[in-house]
Chain A
Amino acid sequence: MITIVSDNQVAHYGEAVREKLTERGVEAVHLVITEDGIKPCYGCDGCQTKSFLRCVFRDDADRILPYIAQSDTFVIVTPLTYGGYSYQAKLIVDKLALLGDVHYYVKDRELVKGTGSCKYFVIGVSEDCGEAEAKAFEYLVHETHVITGWQGKAFISPKIYDADMIAKEITCS
């Protein structure tokens, strides 16, 4: 299963990708992050001390995280914001550590976290981003792949990729 999670400002992009994936015969679910539906990670360590790897705060992440955890592939759709995620999208990204292996490993001579074999794609929605912003966005997603061991790619849409191209790359990866 593929889970697509969209910032509500760009939910139509996420829905377009879901439709293209479905046309290709792939089971895909599209979830939209509700305005102020997710509380920030307060770094309270409650997920390590009070409720094993589960956030101690009840919010919309309770709906979204099980889908991500039970997917082979997940996709975040965000307005491209200063070369990265929007506030809403980052709220869920900040909680992704809950899904991973808590241990450290060494890969390519560096310490990394082990988070399984998931595929992680990020769609940064922008019509006019410059080269510096595009590079920063690709770098950010690449670094997340490095530290987690996930595979995947950063897409800038619609400037570079349309929904059909993205669905094709996701299914062929």
Chain B
Amino acid sequence: MRNYLIINASPRPKSTSLLLANMCKAYLDEHERQATVVSMYQGGGPDGLIDAIMGADVVVISGPCYVNTYPAAVIKLLTEWEKRACNGQIIYGMIQGGMPYSHTHKSGLNMLELFAAKNGLSYKGGFICGLGPLINGGTIDKLPNSKALRRQLTVFFANICNEAESGASVYERARMRVPALLARILANFMNRSIDKKYAARGYDACAESPYKTDNI
């Protein structure tokens, strides 16, 4: 039986990356595949994961988008994996971030594709999920594009299950379209919410970074 390893690359104990990882595992379980979800931040961090990766046929990395790509720990994982010599696995990526646009997060998938090309792995595609932090690991049913997202995630998971290529159109069909007017409304709504959250803690959300006045 082929082994599927799904790596949760979020440092948070409850996260949308973990939610997507668990959804992927549930699909694979239903289709009688051997799938395991592991967290990158447990058991000694990325180094401890390499043995599990070596035993997998298909690796799926599900992580958040930090400044346009996966967090630093994913880069460490890939560089450690490269040192141990890759053994031809298939790799997929899932990346989720706050902005509803796929171009904001796409560099994470580009990174996996380049890593795979350099190391003789087979990159077969990825899935970009915007607005992820809004649900904070809860349920995707709370997202405004939940129906399309659930449908397209199922397509993506089926591609993983069949070890098939999964192109950008799979996630693009799930993407929420945000016209400029809606973007303005959203920005105002989120800014009011941010101001309120900071004020409740006695902070001025308009204040400059404290690092601007530190001694250097």
- By a beta-carbon cutoff of 8 Å, the part of chain A in contact with chain B is 40-44, 48-49, 52-54, 65-70, 81-88, 90-91, 93-94, 96-100, 102-106, 109-111, 132-133, 136, 139-140, 143-144, 146-147
Binary A-proximity of B40-56 (CB < 8 A = 1, otherwise 0): 01000000000000000
A residues near B103, Cβ cutoff 8 Å: 143, 146
- Residue of A42, A70, A103 near B216 (CB, 8 A) is A70
Binary A-proximity of B67-86 (CB < 8 A = 1, otherwise 0): 11101110110110000000
CB < 8 Å A-B pair total:
155
Instruction: State whether A139 touches B184 (Cβ < 8 A).
Output: no
Best-buried of A65, A99, A106 by chain B (most CB within 10 Å): A106
- By a beta-carbon cutoff of 8 Å, the part of chain B in contact with chain A is 10-12, 15, 41, 64, 66-69, 71-73, 75-76, 78-79, 99-101, 103-104, 106-107, 110-112, 114-115, 117-118, 178-180, 183-184, 186-187, 190-191, 194, 197-198, 201, 203, 205-207, 209-212, 214-216
CB distance from B27 to the nearest CB of A (A): 26
B residues near A87, Cβ cutoff 8 Å: 72-73, 75-76, 79
Instruction: State whether A110 touches B71 (Cβ < 8 A).
Output: no
A103 to B107, CA, bound (A): 23
Indicate whether A111 sits within 8 Å of B115 (C-beta atoms), given known contacts A54-B210, A66-B214, A69-B211.
no
* Contacts beyond the supplied A52-B201, A84-B107, A111-B100: 7 A-B pairs with Cβ under 8 Å: A52-B210, A84-B110, A98-B209, A100-B209, A105-B187, A109-B179, A140-B110
